[in-house]
Amino acid sequence: MTPLIDGLQYANWSEKIFRQMRAGGVDAVHVTITYHETFRETVLNIEAWNRWFERFPDLIFQGRSASDVALARETGRTAIFFGAQNPSCIEDDIGLVQVLHTLGLRFMQLTYNNQSLLATGCYESHDSGLTRMGREVVAEMNRVGLVVDMSHSAERSTLEAIAHSTRPIAITHANPFDWHPARRNKSDRVLKELAESGGILGFSLYPHHLKGGSSCSLEDFCQMVARTAEKIGIGALAIGTDLCQDQPDSVVDWMRSGRWTKAVDYGEGSAAAPGFPPMPAWFQDNRDFGAIAKGLGAVGFSAPEVAAIMGGNWLDFFARSFPPAGSAA
């Protein structure tokens, strides 16, 4: 049976949420463990996860390889795969790529909205592409099996990452720009080059990425998926809900403003609506994936196609991406 995998969540973790993952039959989730945190702060976040794993061994465990998805299915648990939304966690030290991979990091964004040491984020006015260090770090990520994620990166940087990376990259949570022209959504060119290189796109349910925002209909969303499949094929398509369940608005402030500004950056929000937007009525938490699968079927996807989008494609991508370069899975 094909697993159910979500390509991005950053919740205010609790037993309640882990139980909802089980109720929803979610076999694996890529969770964000760090944004602007330093290496040491990121390790504190890993320590917090270690305590979750110790407290709830019957609900969750740390995923490290694609085979852990099957283990999750067999043991009725959810495999949690770590990711970073910004490279702050490696500081200016390429050696931390391998160290964090050993600690279980499996995805790392090269940028989060702003210019980083590695590449340019989607909110900068000028995109200078991969930096000198960026090219070195991508090669090191390729070597150890840490996936390059360009969800929050700018166009040229994303295209250069696709071209420079010797392994397929991910855009774990975003939608097509031509459906909803948000800065975080991706151009047809990016989506095509992503798919042609073996990469993967997780469709986002974060309202700022949706046409119509929180009131976007399930049917609209699923028709957008169908149109994307026509453009770039089904093999590159997956889900990355960007579910930020139960988070206080102080968290979205940290995500957007970190320590890089003394002012407030509203990111995709605004002074009038600075907080987390409400999720669509049809996707409130981990128990609602069945609705998406049903919606995909309703717009014409076959059962095997739905299964691929709901997890099979992520599983295949995990298997290709997480082993060190040149090793067997």
Q: Which of 60, 89, 96, 194 binds a copy of itself (CB under 8 A)?
A: 96
Q: How far is the CB of 142 from a copy of itself (least distance, A)?
A: 14
Output phi, psi for 241, to 5 deg. Answer: -60, -25
Token digits for 161? 């990452």
Q: How far is the CB of 42 from a copy of itself (least distance, A)?
A: 10
117 scored as a contact of a copy of itself (CB under 8 A): no
Nearer to a copy of itself, 64 or 256 (CB): 64
Nearer to a copy of itself, 82 or 107 (CB): 82
Nearer to a copy of itself, 28 or 46 (CB): 46
Q: Binding marks (x or -) toward a copy of itself, 97..116, rule CB under 8 A?
A: -xx--xxx------------
Token digits for 195? 């798919």
Cβ partners under 8 Å of residue 54, min gap 6: none
How far apart (Å, rounded) are the C-alpha atoms in residues 141 and 139? 5
Nearer to a copy of itself, 91 or 265 (CB): 91
CA distances (Å), origin 256, targets 12, 252, 260: 17, 6, 9
Q: How far is the CB of 222 from a copy of itself (least distance, A)?
A: 40
Nearer to a copy of itself, 48 or 264 (CB): 48
How far apart (Å, rounded) are the C-alpha atoms in residues 271 and 268? 10
Counting residues that bind a copy of itself (by CB under 8 A) gives 17
Q: Quick check: 30 and 172 in contact, CB under 8 A?
A: yes
Nearer to a copy of itself, 166 or 261 (CB): 166
Q: How far is the CB of 74 from a copy of itself (least distance, A)?
A: 17
Residue with token string 């964090």: 100
74-90 core/surface letters (b: 16 or more CB in 10 A; e: else): eeebbbbbbbbbbbbbb
Residue with token string 């990711």: 83
Which 8-state DSSP code applies to residue 185? Answer: S
323 scored as a contact of a copy of itself (CB under 8 A): no
Q: Which of 46, 122, 255, 307 binds a copy of itself (CB under 8 A)?
A: 46
Token digits for 52? 């979750």
Q: How far is the CB of 93 from a copy of itself (least distance, A)?
A: 7
54 to 93, contacts with a copy of itself by CB under 8 A? 93
Q: Which of 19, 22, 24, 39 binds a copy of itself (CB under 8 A)?
A: 39
How far apart (Å, rounded) are the C-alpha atoms in residues 193 and 189? 6
Q: Quick check: 67 and 61 in contact, CB under 8 A?
A: no
Q: Binding marks (x or -) toward a copy of itself, 215..254, rule CB under 8 A?
A: ----------------------------------------
Which 8-state DSSP code applies to residue 90? Answer: G
Q: Quick check: 311 and 29 in contact, CB under 8 A?
A: no
Residues in the site for a copy of itself, rule: CB under 8 A? 39-40, 43-44, 46-48, 50-51, 93, 95-96, 98-99, 102-104
